[in-house]
């Protein structure tokens, strides 16, 4: 059961802290949980796990593919690995290891790919991933989650420890606006209807949930009835919810901090087309762009991923 916060302007703890504290709590319950890093322990705060639980921490250095291989090997011996590196290094750089040593070999590995899309900030184009969801969707049996705030991040980290297979968590390292109250819980594979509406449906994931809610409020002020779904679990997708909530809508828009190719928008489009849903539809995301250097705020505007950008897209469809 989930509940929305009353003050959406407030921020929670940094998401990297939420990840680390959740792993530390898991280690207390199960000493088979292992944290692994690729020389970014300071950036991810995984060094806190090294201090609190040195026997449950492995520093693999700048050798991400080896880290995935070691993690999968540990899984084959009954351990539950949680690995971290920046999003592009956690997916496209190590894709073969994830696919074969992980999924094909029926091992379990929990991957935290941090700073997706515009959240990469000054690390620039080499560290930007607009394609991580597209890659991970292609892996049979994978689970992909894009949590929107601290509460949801803590929940997914712990929930994934109960499941087998390849699991991908994409999330900012820094603090983001709160969406859910701390006591909220969720259901894997199910989207959350954050507000109901009859005219417009926005399906969104990750920290853009807050921006989608901002956009919805602006549209409501103009007399539109707007529904917002937090589709934090991109795979498996909540197909039933997409179909039920798309019925009767004048406009359906997906909103993602990702390329429009292969991500949330593509997943929703596939569902709508395969089920014969005839509704004006738009994928709002990044189209044929590489990353670049800048602050996260600048990059969010540069790649047209703000609430105002979403508002303009929706208004152009009405």
The one catalytic residue in 64, 131, 159, 227 is 64
**Average pLDDT by stretches of 10, the chain with 318 residues:** 96 98 98 97 96 98 98 98 98 98 98 98 96 98 98 98 98 98 98 98 98 98 98 98 97 98 98 97 98 97 98 97
Cβ–Cβ < 8 Å for 19, 171:
yes
Q: Encode pLDDT of 31-54 as tens digits.
A: 999 999 999 999 999 999 999 999
Residues of the chain with CATH 3.40.50.920: 192-317
* Res 295: pLDDT: 97
> Does 64 participate in catalysis according to the annotation?
yes
CA dihedral 216, 266, 109, 54 (to 10 degrees): -40
Report residue 82: phi and psi, to 5°.
Answer: -120, 120
* Res 175: pLDDT: 97
Residues of the chain with CATH 3.40.50.970: 15-171
Q: Encode pLDDT of 244-291 as tens digits.
A: 999 999 999 999 999 999 999 999 999 999 999 999 999 999 999 999
Dihedral sign of CA atoms 221, 222, 225, 226 in order: negative
Cα separation, 96 vs 11, whole angstroms: 37
3-state secondary structure labels for all residues of the chain: CCCECCCCCCECCCHHHHHHHHHHHHHHHCCCEEEEECCCHHHHCCHHHHHHCHHHEEECCCCHHHHHHHHHHHHHCCCEEEEEEEHHHHCCCCHHHHHHHHHHCCCCEEEEEECCHHHHHHHCHHHCCCCHHHHHHCCCCCEEECCCCHHHHHHHHHHHCCCCCEEEEEECCCCCECCECCCCCCCCCCCEEEECCCCEEEEECCCHHHHHHHHHHHHHHCCCCEEEEECCEEECCCHHHHHHHHCCCCEEEEEEEEECCCCHHHHHHHHHHHCCCCCCEEEEEECCCCCCCCCHHHHHHHCCCCHHHHHHHHHHHC
Region 15-171: CATH code: 3.40.50.970
* Res 158: pLDDT: 98
* Res 240: pLDDT: 98
CATH number belonging to the domain at 192-317, selected among 3.40.50.300, 3.30.342.10, 3.40.50.920, 3.40.1440.10: 3.40.50.920
- Would you say the pTM of this structure is higher than 0.85? yes
* Res 181: pLDDT: 98
């Amino acid at each position: 059961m989930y509940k929305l916060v009353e003050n959406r302007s407030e921020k929670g703890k940094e998401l990297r802290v939420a990840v680390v504290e959740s792993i530390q709590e898991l280690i207390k319950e199960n000493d088979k949980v292992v944290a692994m890093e690729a020389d970014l322990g300071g950036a991810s705060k995984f060094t806190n796990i090294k201090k609190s639980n040195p026997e449950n921490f492995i520093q693999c250095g700048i050798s991400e593919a080896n880290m995935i291989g070691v993690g999968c090997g540990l899984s084959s011996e009954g351990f539950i690995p949680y690995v971290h590196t920046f999003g592009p290094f956690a997916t496209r750089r190590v894709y073969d290891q994830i696919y074969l040593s992980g999924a094909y070999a029926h091992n379990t590995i929990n991957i935290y790919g941090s700073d997706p899309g515009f959240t990469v900030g000054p690390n620039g184009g080499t560290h930007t991933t607009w394609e991580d969801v597209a890659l991970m969707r292609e892996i049979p049996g994978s689970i992909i989650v894009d949590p929107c705030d601290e509460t949801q991040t803590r929940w997914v980290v712990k929930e994934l420890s109960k499941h087998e297979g390849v699991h991908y968590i994409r999330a900012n390292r820094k603090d983001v606006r709160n969406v859910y109250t701390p006591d909220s819980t969720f259901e894997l594979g199910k989207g959350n209807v954050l507000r109901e509406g009859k005219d417009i449906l926005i399906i969104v994931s990750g920290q853009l949930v807050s921006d989608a809610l901002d956009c919805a409020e602006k549209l409501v002020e103009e007399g539109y009835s707007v529904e917002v779904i937090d589709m934090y679990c991109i795979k498996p997708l909540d197909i039933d919810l997409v179909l039920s909530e798309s019925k009767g809508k004048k406009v359906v828009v997906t909103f993602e901090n990702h390329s429009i190719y292969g991500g949330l928008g593509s997943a929703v489009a596939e569902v709508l087309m395969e089920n014969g849903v005839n509704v004006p539809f738009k994928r709002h995301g990044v189209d044929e762009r590489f990353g670049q250097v800048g602050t996260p705020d600048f990059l969010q505007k540069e790649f047209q991923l703000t609430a105002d950008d979403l508002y303009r897209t929706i208004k152009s469809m009405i």
